[in-house]
């Protein structure tokens, strides 16, 4: 279990913008009720199949969300940075987590009881609208992810993953990978051996450079073409 922290919603620079729709009394309510936790790399935030009672908002670090399979590789479907919350459809269906979430880097998160979130959605239409907009955007991204995994060959899937890391995770064409080769493979829907082979091909063709964990996109137009054509 992570280490408990003392934080303040009013002073937080990493809070999700869904909370900007709350008035001071409503923000004070969630500030008093929330739990803030620090997680070490590799520490479980929640486990697939366990009870789902809280909205988890990431305030620092990086979190991987993945579906566990007994006899095959896990499928990582998203990496979440600060100011975003983790998708939690089970909270409104069967009160169970339908995937697992683990800290990739040192991570802090705030947990809000789902009953309070529902109460605020009923009281504040703007909050409800922004909450649903964010959840819908996450769902759309998940659809695109599934489509890419089922329609593209391994080169297209890896190209898609590298572009995703550059634009949505590290926000730079050159970055230090904080995920392992296995996690890179799980994010791309392939085996570790296939991921390493594709990375080597991209490197040999000077589409990317890769030294240890430092990756740089050298030919973005080619990478985008591979992604588009699958």
Q: Is the pLDDT of residue 72 over 80?
A: no
Residues 21 and 121 both lie in one domain: yes
> What is the Cα–Cα distance from 92 to 118, expressed in whole angstroms?
10
If DSSP codes are grouped into helix, strand and coil, which group holds residue 106? Answer: coil
88 and 201 together in one domain: no
pLDDT in tens, 18-67: 999 999 999 999 999 999 999 999 999 999 999 999 999 999 999 999 99
Instruction: Give yes or no: residues 77 and 115 share one domain.
Output: yes
Residues 6 or more apart from 121 whose CB is under 8 A from it? 127, 128, 131
For the beta carbon of residue 137, count every other beta carbon within 10 angstroms. Answer: 12
Domain-embedded: residue 15: yes
Angle between helices 114-123 and 24-33 (to 10 degrees): 170
- 132 found inside a domain: no
Round to whole Å and give the CA distance between 107 and 43.
9
Examine residue 114 and state whether it is found in any structural domain, yes or no. Answer: yes
Same domain membership, residue 115 and residue 164: no
Q: Does residue 211 share a domain with residue 176?
A: yes
Domain that holds residue 204: 152-229
Q: Is residue 139 part of a domain?
A: no
Position 99 scores a pLDDT of 94
Residue 145 lies in a domain: no
Residue 205, classed as helix, strand or coil, is coil
With beta carbons less than 8 A apart as the criterion, state whether 121 and 127 touch.
Answer: yes
pLDDT single digits (tens) 123-162: 999 999 999 999 999 889 889 888 888 889 999 999 999 9
Same domain, 29 and 94: yes
Residues β-bridged to residue 110 = 36, 57
Q: Is 124 helix (H, G, I), strand (E, B) or coil?
A: coil
- DSSP string computed for 9-57: TTT-SSS-GGGGGS-HHHHHHHHHH-EEEEE-TT-EEE-TTSB--EEEE
Cα(91)–Cα(179) distance, integer angstroms = 28
Residue 65 sits in the same domain as residue 100: yes
Q: What is the pLDDT of residues 101-111, one digit of tens each?
A: 999 999 999 99
Q: For the chain, how many structural domains are there in total?
A: 2
Question: Residue 18 belongs to a domain with what CATH number?
Answer: 2.60.120.10
Q: Does residue 88 surpass a pLDDT of 90?
A: no
* DSSP per-residue codes, 141-169: HHHHHHHHHHHS-HHHHHHHHHHHIIIII
The reply to whether 59 falls in a domain is yes
The CATH code of the domain that includes 166 is 1.10.10.10
pTM: 0.90
CA 77-43-146 angle, to 5 degrees, is 5
67: in domain: yes
Same domain, 17 and 114: yes
The answer to whether 173 touches 216, Cβ cutoff 8 Å, is yes
Looking at the structure, tell me whether residues 107 and 156 fall in a common domain: no
- 158 and 112 housed in the same domain: no
Residues 215 and 117 placed together within one structural domain of the fold: no
- For 120-133, give one letter per residue: b (16+ CB within 10 A) or e: beeebeebbebbee
Domain annotation covers residue 160: yes
pLDDT in tens, 90-104: 888 899 999 999 999
Q: Do 157 and 50 share a domain, yes or no? A: no
Phi-psi region of 151 (alpha: psi -120 to 50; beta: other; left: phi over 0): alpha
């Amino acid at each position: 279990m992570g280490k408990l922290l003392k934080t303040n919603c009013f002073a937080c620079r990493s809070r999700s913008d869904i909370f900007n729709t709350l008035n001071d009394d409503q923000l004070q309510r969630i500030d008093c009720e929330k739990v803030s936790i620090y997680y070490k790399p590799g520490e479980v935030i929640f486990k697939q199949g366990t009870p789902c009672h809280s909205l988890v908002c990431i305030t620092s670090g990086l979190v991987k969300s993945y579906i566990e399979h007994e006899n095959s590789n896990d499928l990582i479907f998203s990496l979440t940075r600060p100011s975003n919350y983790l998708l939690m459809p089970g909270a409104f269906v069967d009160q169970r987590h339908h995937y697992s979430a683990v800290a990739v880097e040192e991570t802090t998160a705030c947990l809000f009881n789902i009953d309070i979130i529902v109460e605020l959605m009923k009281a504040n239409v703007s909050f409800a609208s922004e909450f649903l907009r964010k959840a819908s955007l996450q769902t759309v991204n998940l659809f695109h992810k599934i489509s890419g995994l089922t329609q593209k060959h391994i080169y297209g899937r890896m190209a898609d993953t590298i572009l995703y890391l550059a634009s949505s995770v590290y926000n730079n064409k050159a970055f230090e990978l904080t995920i392992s080769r296995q996690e890179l493979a799980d994010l791309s829907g392939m085996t570790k051996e296939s991921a390493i082979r594709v990375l080597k091909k991209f490197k040999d063709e000077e589409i990317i450079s890769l030294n240890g964990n430092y990756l740089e996109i050298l030919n973005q137009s080619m990478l985008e073409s591979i992604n588009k054509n699958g």
